[in-house]
Amino acid sequence: MAHTHSIALVGVEGHPVEIESDIENGLPGLLLVGLPDTALREARDRIRAAIINSGEQWPQRRITVGLSPASLPKRGSGFDLGIAVSILAAAGTVPVAAIEGVTFLGELGLDGQLRPVRGVLPAVAGAAAAGFRKVAVPDASAPEAALVPELMVLGAPTLGALLAWLRGDRKAGQLVTVTMSGEGAGIPPVQAGSRVATGASRSSGQRLSGPRAPGARPSGPAHPPDLDGRPDLADILGQPAARRAAEICAAGGHHLSLLGPPGAGKTMLAERIPTIMPALDRPAALEVTAIHSVAGTLPPGRPLLTEPPYCAPHHTATKAAIVGGGSGVIRPGAASLAHRGCLLLDEAPEFARDVLDALRQPLESGQVVVARSGVTARFPARFTLVLAANPCPCAKGPGVRAGCICTPAARRRYLARLSGPLLDRVDVKVEFLPVSRAELLSDRRFAEPSSLVLKRVEAARDRAAARLGPTPWRLNGEIPGSELRRSFAPGPGALAPLERAMDLGEISARGVAKVIRVAWTLADLAGVARPTVAETSYALGLWLGVAR
């Protein structure tokens, strides 16, 4: 009898699994117990073929493999390597001492090749949290596993090479790469809803020129756009209010609603919001990488994602595709894939009503909870939501020469697909209007490139991080409403516009908290200590969708 260890993933959390192999007299066969799924049950034939084709002897006796804890569901092919090594150790062909304290992750091919599996980063992080200091993975997954500090990572191309290394035959096992990981800061536990700083400052920032009006656009000479081929905010012409709103949302982590006719630039603006978001710091980058690793969307050759992600699902996407889930293995959805980045719902009223309403919970809590029989998975989902919509079904809003042909009732039904509770959670609402040729030409000298706006966003986030230093939050959009009232109240008299709006029934209690958060972001962008009446009034106009 012998045992090894592997990791079972539930969401992005890794749970240690002990693999026990018992070889006894009886009819030859392999019995797997411990809640394996279909892919794991099929591992019996894969493992037998891989062991034989690696030049090893398959024990012609009864083999029982137990996966403990038995109550934890085990899914996927990542247990293949651990099961194969435990069987050979039980047969006496692999030294038991060599596998002590080692976690094994990897899928076996029939020829003994080790193939990468999804979720290596969170699995290795779970192994490190459980006290393991060695991990054996396929060589293609070694760079991802090496992101977790203070671990010895064994990257093996084949089962035979790894077995030779474990037996001490360094000549035969020379194909195994040994990496000591973990230079610098450690990896925190990858948990749903954890709050980390997103974007350390790379520059001191730059204050807006001209008068300090919260909604004023910067004046001065024209700015050359970035020429590196990436989308640039300077491409958006004739919509200065929308560009300003995008800057505010990027600086404070606020949600944005865009309403306007086709061709006005709604999608272009959303695509350029990640370009004015600071690069992810290491904890946030590890969180984002772990999610994409579980989803199997890590780009080849890029074990660590450092740029804010951008996700734009089609309007026919299902609820599981947006918030996560699935009938078999629970996978993260678009909301989690956009964690610490931007999620665009283009043609938002065309999405199914239940899909849109499913986003209400992650917008508040910053996480997605997927409950299934016997297991509950949690995925981080703290993103900037952008809702883009046409003003009516015919998409010919006011001001279009051809004229709108929709009745008022049709327009109300169309926009009513975006429920009131969902829009109540959106901080900034902007209406796009058709742009004339003269406006396009005149706005060219005011349109700033993303690189210049990014500096102001970084400076604003630095001010927010300094103010929120002793708290678990780093962005204004993350602060709970109770803390806003208790610890981060605006200046004297600054709430007068909100008080009038509440007396008139124009805003809800949740909306008040949203407005105060945006007011703090406006103050950070302007470089003032606390929001005044000017910031609060402009933030209220953004929430109501009437600011220009």
Mean pLDDT throughout 537-543?
Answer: 95
pLDDT surpassing 70 at residue 191 = no
Architecture of domain 275-441: 3-Layer(aba) Sandwich (3.40)
pLDDT at 208: 31
Q: By the 8 A CB rule, do 85 and 47 touch?
A: no
Sign, CA torsion 185/191/195/198? positive
Give the pLDDT mean for 246-270.
94
Contacts of 247 (CB under 8 A, 6+ apart): 276, 453, 456, 457, 525
Please say if the pLDDT value at position 8 is more than 50. yes
The region of weakest confidence among 90-104, 134-148, 172-186, 367-381 is 172-186
As a whole number of angstroms, the distance between CA 380 and CA 368 comes to 6
Distances (CA, A) of 150 to 144, 287, 290, 320: 14, 18, 18, 36
Range list for CATH 3.40.50 in the chain: 275-441
The predicted-structure confidence for 33-77, as pLDDT tens digits, reads as follows: 998 888 788 889 999 999 999 999 999 999 999 999 988 888 889
pLDDT tops 60 at residue 194? no
Q: Evaluate if residue 223 carries a pLDDT over 50.
A: no
Spatial distance between the Cα atoms of 278 and 460, rounded to a whole number of angstroms: 11
Say how far apart CA 382 and CA 342 lie, in whole Å. Answer: 9
Summarize the confidence of residues 66-95 as an average pLDDT: 93
Give the pLDDT score at 405: 81
SS3 letters across 11-56:
CCEEEEEEEEEEEECCCCEEEEECCECHHHHCHHHHHHHHHHHCCC
Model confidence at 357, in pLDDT bands (50, 70, 90)? very high
Q: For tokens 């049709």, what's the residue?
A: 410
DSSP for 334-402, please give it. Answer: HHHHTTTSEEEETTGGGS-HHHHHTTHHHHHHSEEEEEETTEEEEEE---EEEEEE-SSTT---TT-TT
Highest mean pLDDT among 177-181, 373-377, 403-407 belongs to: 177-181
pLDDT value for 399: 54
User: pLDDT band for position 197 (50/70/90)?
Assistant: very low
| pTM given for the model | 0.87
Phi, psi of 5, rounded to the nearest 5 degrees: -135, 145
Q: Which residues contact 536 (CB under 8 A, 6 or more apart)?
A: 490, 494, 495, 496, 497, 498, 515, 516, 519
Residue 399, Cβ density class (10 Å: 0-12 exposed, 13-18 middle, ≥19 buried): middle
Q: Look at residues 301, 382, 370 and name the one whose alpha carbon lies nearest to residue 341.
A: 382
pLDDT exceeds cutoff 60 at 345: yes
Q: What is the pLDDT of residues 26-37, one digit of tens each?
A: 899 999 999 888
Task: Calculate the average pLDDT of the chain.
Answer: 87
User: pLDDT (tens digit, 9 = 90+) per residue, 120-134?
Assistant: 999 999 999 999 999
Q: Check pLDDT > 80 for residue 352.
A: yes
Residue 70, exposed/middle/buried by CB under 10 A (0-12, 13-18, 19+)?
exposed
Asked whether the predicted pLDDT for residue 454 surpasses 90, the reply is: yes
State pLDDT tens for residues 493-538: 899 999 999 999 899 888 999 999 999 999 999 999 999 999 999 9
CATH 3.10.180.10 fits 2-180, yes or no: no
CATH 3.30.230.10 domain extents, the chain: 2-180
The larger pLDDT score, comparing residue 222 to residue 44, is at 44
Q: Which residue has the higher pLDDT, 208 or 513?
A: 513
Is residue 206 within 8 Å of residue 459, measured between CB atoms? yes
- Using alpha carbons, select from 548, 546, 538, 545 the residue that is nearest to residue 497: 538
Q: Is the pLDDT of residue 180 over 90?
A: no
347-350 own/partner pairs: CB under 8 Å, 24+ apart: 347/315, 347/388, 347/389, 347/390, 348/315, 348/387, 348/388, 348/389, 348/417, 348/418, 349/389, 349/390, 349/414, 349/415, 349/417, 349/418, 350/315, 350/417
pLDDT of residue 439: 79
Q: Per-residue pLDDT tens for 121-176?
A: 999 999 999 999 999 999 999 999 999 998 999 999 999 999 999 998 877 778 89
